[in-house]
Each structure stands twice: as C-alpha cells, then as structure tokens.
Amino acid sequence: MNVYKTYITIADPKQLVLSDLPFKAGQKVEVIILTENNQRVTLAEELKKLFHEIQAIHADNPLTDEEIAAEIEAHRRGE
C-alpha cells in the first residue's frame, strides 16, 4: 500500500479539493479525513456550554444581592 499524506485548511465545508496528487487517472484510492486535535477549541466549547447551563439555572432561580453577599462571607469564614 502506498501512502500519500498532505495537510490542507478547509476553505469551504461543502467540498474538499486535493490537487497535484501522485496517482494515475482511474486509480482507486482510499480517503480518510482526520481533523487536527485542537484540545483548546474543544475546552472552549465545553466552557461556553457550561456558562450557558449556569446562566439558565440562574435565570430559573436568581440570587439576590443579599444571598450573594452571605455566600461570600460564609466562604471567607471557611464554611
């Protein structure tokens, strides 16, 4: 099995264009597409989702300023 590896950046998510390939016309090839593992992007997406969940919880059960101040004081006292 011959292997050809190249890197491209997707310009249009509806199509992938490969050019100047080292294969003959009519030659059958197997195509496997792997995305770059970008952990930072994944973590940012998860954090954004978490923020939305927290905001939804707060919208359903908003805290008063007094409750927030009491939580802060309790934390400072080590409770």
How do residues 1-48 score in pLDDT, each as one tens digit?
789 999 888 999 999 999 999 999 999 999 999 887 778 888 889 999
Q: How far is CA 66 from CA 3, 33, 63, in A?
A: 66, 54, 8
> For 49-74, what is the mean pLDDT?
91
Distance CA 18, CA 40 (A): 27
Residue 39 has what pLDDT?
83
Burial class (CB in 10 A: 0-12, 13-18, 19+), 53: exposed
